[in-house]
Chains A and B, each alone.
Chain A
Amino acid sequence: MKVRIHISLKPGVLDPQGRAVHHALEGLGFSGVDDVRVGRTVELDVADSTNDEALGEMCEKLLANTVIENYRIEKVA
C-alpha cells in the first residue's frame, strides 16, 4: 500500500523558507501570490495490513514535529 504523508507548518508558525520562495516568485514576475508555505511529502510503501493507528504513530514519533507541524495521511493505492 502506498501512503503519502503531507507535512505542513502550523498556521501562525513563521516560514522563512516560504517567504524566500514567495520573494523569488515575485522576482520572476508572478504577481498575485499572497502567501507561500513550504511543506514536505513523505511517501511510504507499507504492508497492506498497516493500520491507521500505526501510521499516526509514525507521524507523531518521527515524521512530523507536532510542536510546529501538522500532518495529513493520504492512502494512494
Chain B
Amino acid sequence: MKTAVVTFPGSNCDRDMQVALRDVTGRDPHKVWHGDADLPDGLDFIALPGGFSYGDYLRSGAMAANSPIMRSVIAAAERGVPVLGVCNGFQVLTEARLLPGALMRNAGQNFICRTVSLKVENTQSLFTGGYASDEEIHVPVAHHDGNFFADEDTLDRLEGDGRVAFRYTEKVNGSRRDIAGILNPAGNVLGMMPHPERAIESDHGGSDGRRLFESALGVLAPA
C-alpha cells in the first residue's frame, strides 16, 4: 500500500495525516513537497492535508492549486488514483477544479473548532464503503472557510448523482444544504471539511474517521 501526503508551505495537518496513514496501512506514507514536479510512481492514495497553504493568500487553496505538484496530482486523479482533500485540502481541490463549488468564509465569521456530527449520505463510494447507510459519525472540524457554495444546478446534480458523501446534521458554517464533503463524478476524489485523520483512535475522542481510510485503502476488517 503506497500512499503520499503533500505538504504545502503553511500546511499544518500533514503530520496528523501521515500518522493516520501509517497507523492504517502499517507503512510510512511518502512525503511530497509542493515544489516537487512528480509524485512517486504507483501510488494507491494521495492526501492533501489541512492547514493554511500559502497563508491563504488570494483565496484559501488558490495558490496551492497552482503549485507544481498539483499538475501531477490532477493527472493522477484523472487516472483514477484515490485523492482525499481534508479542510484546506478540500479548498485546494475546488480551486484546482477537481471538485465543483467553493469554500467561503463561515457564515458566522468565526473560526469553528469542535467535533460535529455528520450523516454518511453515500455508503457506496470508495471512501465511505465502510460506513452503514445513514450512519451518524462524529468528526472534528477546524476551519474559517468551510462554507460550501455552489449554484442550485450544481447542488442538484451533486445530490442526484450521489456525490454528497457527508452532510452536517446541524448548522455549522452556512454550507449550502449542509454539505460537508463531496465526490468527483468518478468517485475517486473526495473533499471534506471535517478531519477524519483526527478521529483515528479512541484517545482522539473517537475513531469514526478510521473507517474512511480503511475503506479507501482496502484494508477494512470484515464486519
- Interface stretch of the complex, out of B4-12, B101-109, B186-194: B101-109
Flag whether B66 is at the interface (Cβ < 8 A): yes
Q: B149 contacts which of A13, A20, A61 (Cβ < 8 Å)?
A: A13
Shortest CB distance B125–A (Å): 23
Question: How far is B37's CA from A6's CA once the two chains are assembled, in angstroms?
Answer: 32
What is the minimal beta-carbon distance from A59 to any residue of chain B, in angstroms?
Answer: 12
Chain B residues with CB below 8 A from A20, complex form: 109
Main secondary structure of the interface of A (DSSP, over half): helix
Partner of B105, one of A16, A61, A63, A67: A16
Cβ of B95 under 8 Å from chain A: yes
Question: How many chain-B residues does the 8 Å CB contact rule pick out?
Answer: 20
CB pair A68–B104 under 8 Å, yes or no, is yes
The number of chain A residues touching the other chain, given as a range, is: 10 to 19
Nearest-Cβ distance from residue A15 to partner chain B, whole angstroms: 8
Point out the residues of chain B lying under 8 angstroms from A41, CB to CB: none
Q: Is the CB of A61 within 8 A of B66?
A: yes
